Amino acid sequence: MILMNMVTPPPDIAAISALQSKLVSALRPILPEHALLWEPEDTIPYECDGLAAYKRMPLAVALPETEEQVAQILKICFAMKIPVVPRGSGTGLSGGAMPISQGLVLSLAKLKKILSIDPFTRTAVVQPGVRNLAISEAVSHLGLYYAPDPSSQIACSIGGNVNENSGGVHCLKYGLTLHNVLRVRGVLMNGEIVEFGSLAPDAPGLDLLAIVLGSEGMLAVVTEVTVKLVAKPKMARVIMASFDDIEKGGNAVAAIIAAGIIPAGLEMMDQATTRAVEEFVNAGYDLEAAAILLCESDGTPEEVAEEIERMTKVLEQSGASGIQISKDEAERLKFWSGRKNAFPAAGRIAADYYCMDGTIPRRHIATLLKRIQGMEKKYGLGCLNVFHAGDGNMHPLILFNGADVEEWHRAEEFGTEILEACVELGGTITGEHGVGIEKINSMCIQFGEGERESFWGVKSAFDPEKLLNPDKGIPTLSRCAEYGRMRISGGKLPHPELERF
């Protein structure tokens, strides 16, 4: 927050109010009355997304009900040079939908129809505001489902998933949003309607769909998504394995993959997490274990039996101190309940928690966990570690008290150090939550000047005026320079070998 104010000077209040009237009168003719909000009491729910620490009030909020309205809104904003921040369900954890003070929030929440379902081609065409889980629910009777299942799937929208390239617990086997979306229809900032990808296996020209996926609302506004549906596995079972040492647990993850097994889910929790969640869900976790692994197998009963046996063998050889296999669906869900409730459990033992989202190569899991233990002492804050271990994507939950500003800053510093460690270990600062506004400074650590410049080149190819969610995702040169100075003045310059600007 402090950093942001350094880069953007506080805007003039009278000018903002004049701009607001201009924008509202331009949008009123094209939108129903209830679809345009500008009074502070109406727009305040939009001041932030799932990352509540970053807030700002927009000029106005538009809630279009048709693609045509989306296109018209964008045309008007394009002509007025007013920046637009697209928003889905607002569950994002990196501030990607945080408003811009002199901009419009474009909520796609009212575009929430499932337009068609085709069991023969295993596809569904849905509007961006459709919730992730609603797709699977709508096709369940056909024996199909939509595979990516981010933890927020009850609430998060498919449009948001497209923009974050969301994963979930099962993406090791079933892939990310990228692997499960065939076509995206959207509107460019100038109001032109376009289609990326195709129902055919490929489309002419460069693969622009690949770059729109995960673009954090900066390249196009999504108005329609064609998703791939897959056959529901007949059954699933999960193994819960305890390890008395984090390192052994980390090595077991690598050993399962090396044995040629791709489990449907492969998750890890450290002791602090199991203790926090056990109190909450009574899943029967081994509280003495330094780490718990959940390894899921799905498929036909024969396949599952075969895979469970193979995984059990590998886990035993990797030194598991205890192994339990779910006997039935109820027990499987019980084993998972703790993992699924890690976030609320964190919310129960601390006033606030700050969820991180780095990815590292699997072999470094133990190294990173040990480093985080050191950081807990350094910053005087606790941390729960839950991992999508199968793909090295970790979500440390840093516990802090948000009422104490100094403690929040320590939590931020703690988080930044974790992300720096991820980059150093050959990983990335964000696996699935996005850069948004939160990790924009860390982008300066992960990428050099050439890459940063190329990202702006990509942005300009879609949005030459830089009006679509322009303050997210990619840092400006001056921001990186400012950030570089800050880190040096703190006496903790990371990566001195990196070029500074």
Partner 1 sequence: MNAANPIIEAFREQILSAAKNQTKLSIEGGGTKSWYGNPNAHPKLDTRPYSGILEYQPEELVITACAGTPLKEIEAALKEKNQILAFEPPNFGEQATFGGAIAAGLAGPGRISAGNFRDFVLGTRMMDGKGQDLSFGGQVMKNVAGYDVSRLLPGSMGTLSLLLEASVKVLPRPAATATLRCQISQEKALRVLNEWAGQPLPLSASCWIGDSNGEGQLSIRLAGAVAAIKAAVPLINSLVNASEVDPQSAETFWNDLREHKLPLFENLGANQTLYRLALPATCGPLSIPGSDKEIILEWHGQQRWIKAPGDEATFNLIKQLASSHGGHVTRFKQGANVNPAFQRFTLLSEQTHSQALELVQERLRSAFDPAGVFSTNRLP
Restricting to residues 159-188, name those near partner 1 by CB under 8 A: 164-165, 167, 171-172, 175-176, 178-179, 185, 188
**Secondary structure element (H or E) that encloses residue 84, with its range:** strand 84-87
For residues 379 and 77, give the distance between their C-alpha atoms in angstroms, rounded to a whole number.
Answer: 44
Report in angstroms how near the CB of residue 329 gets to partner 1 at its nearest. 16
The tokens 């939908």 sit on which residue?
97
Residue 112 touching partner 1 (CB under 8 A): no
Q: How would you class 305 by CB atoms within 10 Å of its CB: exposed for 0-12, middle for 13-18, buried for 19 or more?
A: middle
User: Which of 8, 198, 317, 478 is close enough to bind partner 1 by CB under 8 A?
Assistant: 198
Rule CB under 8 A: which of 414-433 touch partner 1? 426-433
Report in angstroms how near the CB of residue 464 gets to partner 1 at its nearest. 7
φ, ψ of residue 223 in degrees (nearest 5): -120, -15
Report in angstroms how near the CB of residue 175 gets to partner 1 at its nearest. 7
Rule CB under 8 A: which of 33-72 touch partner 1? none
**Spatial strand order in the sheet of 181-187:** 114-118, 123-126, 221-228, 181-187, 193-197
Rule CB under 8 A: which of 236-275 touch partner 1? 254-255, 257-258, 260-262
User: Which of 451, 465, 485, 501 is close enough to bind partner 1 by CB under 8 A?
Assistant: 451
Residue 488 touching partner 1 (CB under 8 A): no
Report in angstroms how near the CB of residue 286 gets to partner 1 at its nearest. 25
Give the count of alpha carbons within 13 A of 5, CB side only. Answer: 6
Beta strands in 259-409 (DSSP E): 265-270, 291-299, 322-325, 352-355, 358-359, 383-388, 393-400
Total chain residues near partner 1 (CB under 8 A) = 102
Residue 192 touching partner 1 (CB under 8 A): yes
For residues 330 and 151, give the distance between their C-alpha atoms in angstroms, rounded to a whole number.
Answer: 19
For residues 390 and 252, give the distance between their C-alpha atoms in angstroms, rounded to a whole number.
Answer: 10
Give Cβ neighbours of residue 96 (< 8 Å, ≥ 6 apart).
49, 163, 164, 216, 217, 434, 435, 436, 437, 469, 472, 473
User: Which of 3, 57, 133, 142 is close enough to bind partner 1 by CB under 8 A?
Assistant: 142
Which one-letter amino acid corresponds to residue 151?
A: S
Find the part of the chain contacting partner 1 (CB under 8 A) among 7-15, 241-249, 370-378, 457-465: 457-465
Contact 227, 166 (CB under 8 A): no
Find the part of the chain contacting partner 1 (CB under 8 A) among 52-60, 152-160, 192-200, 279-287: 192-200
Give whichever of 271 and 416 is closer to partner 1, judged by the CB atom. 416
Report in angstroms how near the CB of residue 101 gets to partner 1 at its nearest. 25
User: Which of 392, 415, 470, 484 is close enough to bind partner 1 by CB under 8 A?
Assistant: 392
Residue 307 touching partner 1 (CB under 8 A): yes
